[in-house]
Structure 1
Amino acid sequence: MKNSIIKNGLLGGIVVSIVMLGMTFYMKANPECEPSMVIGFASMFLAFIFVILGIKQQREANNGVISFGKAFVTGLLISLTISTIYVIVWLIVYYNFFPDFIDQYSAMVLKNTKPEEIASKTAEMNQMKEWYKSPVMIILLTYMEILPIGILVSLIGAFILKKK
């Protein structure tokens, strides 16, 4: 089980991190262009295909039988591995290559905000800037980007692949 979790977690983490790196460096090189959230979330779903594969591999290792609970735990551990790799890569990129990310991101968001929403969006961006002063908050915010998708995929995968 550990081998399947580690292998699938690493592969999924590599997939999502490569796309994140590409989008981040594109944003850094082109501050006037907004990166595609569709591409970002699509890469997360693509990475979480490894959750499904890992659950299926675990089922096959157990002679075609896996309970919902065991399938969910397997998927959750793979999701946690993928998410942790994503967070670690983001921390490396942020602190070493893109320390002004939050300022550039805030400027881009405010530039694309409707005039009637500018006050609330400015307050939201100021809150994010405050959060980004703490490494713990950066870690939590980054986990909140990806881990909920992993939990959802783990639940769906466990439900579909469970077999008594």
Structure 2
Amino acid sequence: MEHKQPTFIQQNTLFGMLIGCCCVAASYVFFKQTGNIYANPSLDRIITFLFVIGLFMQIRRYRESEELKGYISYGRALLTGMYLSAVAGFFYGSYALIIYSKHPDTLENYLMYAESLFRQLYPESPWADNMIQMLQAFTTPVSMGITEFFSKALMGLIYTLVIAFILKKRKPE
């Protein structure tokens, strides 16, 4: 019987899910302690660390797979990192949707935090009032989940640009 090599999707989806689940677990611990998942520099650093380590480990692991035999182009490494980031971002965005849906007070606290920030930056400005009204009108659990998905996917892409450069390895000619 012939041994089939796992495909790109099979090799990377599970690890992307693992990165996303680790970020969700870290965020949930902070949520239980502080009651929010926004404006928390410690949580942001932990999630960034998990993303960078996860991307590096999996792109390197994929490079060493039977399919690539230790060689990977910059483009393939970039594609791998983008895919991992999208999968992890999907998990984190889904988590944010659930948190903001099940805990409406968290969304209210976020809106109050954003309002106080606008008032500090633009005191006595009608522009701040307009921005606050727009924020209140468009901020829903779904919009927060979508925003988290795109922010995590973009963050992963930015780090992947560097990681792919570090891990690329050409076949000798």
**TM-score range for the pair, normalised by the shorter chain length:** 0.7 to 0.9
Q: 1:16 to 1:158 in 2, by over 3 A?
A: same
Instruction: Give the gaps of 5 or more residues in structure 1.
Output: none
**Max Rg structure:** 2
Of 4, 11, 21, the match for 2:11 = 4
What SS is found at the alignment partner of 2:122? helix
Question: Residue deviations 1:11-67, cap 9 Å, x none?
Answer: 211111112222333343xx8xx9653222212212212111111011111221001
What SS is found at the alignment partner of 1:100? helix
Aligned to 2:5: none
Aligned to 1:83: 89
What SS is found at the alignment partner of 1:66? coil
The 8 Å contact of residues 66 and 162 in structure 1, kept in 2 or not, is answered as yes
Identity %: 20
Aligned to 1:69: 75
Q: 1:125 to 1:8 in 2, by over 3 A?
A: farther
Aligned to 1:47: 50
The reply to whether residue 152 of structure 1 matches residue 149 of structure 2 is: no
What SS is found at the alignment partner of 2:69? coil
Question: Residue deviations 1:102-126, cap 9 Å, x none?
Answer: 3212223444666562445554343
The 8 Å contact of residues 103 and 129 in structure 1, kept in 2 or not, is answered as no
CA distance in 2, matches of 1:105, 1:44: 19
The code of the aligned residue for 1:84 comes to F
CA distance in 2, matches of 1:110, 1:140: 21
The reply to whether residue 20 of structure 1 matches residue 27 of structure 2 is: yes
Aligned to 2:109: 104
Q: 1:22 to 1:127 in 2, by over 3 A?
A: farther
CA distance in 2, matches of 1:108, 1:134: 16
Q: 1:116 to 1:9 in 2, by over 3 A?
A: closer
How does 1:111-122 map onto structure 2 within 5 Å?
111=116, 115=120, 117-118=122-123, 119=125, 120-122=127-129
Aligned residues: 158
Q: 1:89 to 1:2 in 2, by over 3 A?
A: same
TM-score of the pair, normalised by structure 2? 0.77
The code of the aligned residue for 2:105 comes to D
The reply to whether residue 126 of structure 1 matches residue 133 of structure 2 is: yes
Aligned-CA RMSD value = 2.6
TM-score of the pair, normalised by structure 1? 0.80
Instruction: Give the gaps of 5 or more residues in structure 2.
Output: 1-7
Question: Residue deviations 1:62-108, cap 9 Å, x none?
Answer: 22100111111111111111100001111111112x12323212223
Q: 1:131 to 1:35 in 2, by over 3 A?
A: closer
Structure 1 ranges of 4+ moved more than 6 A: none
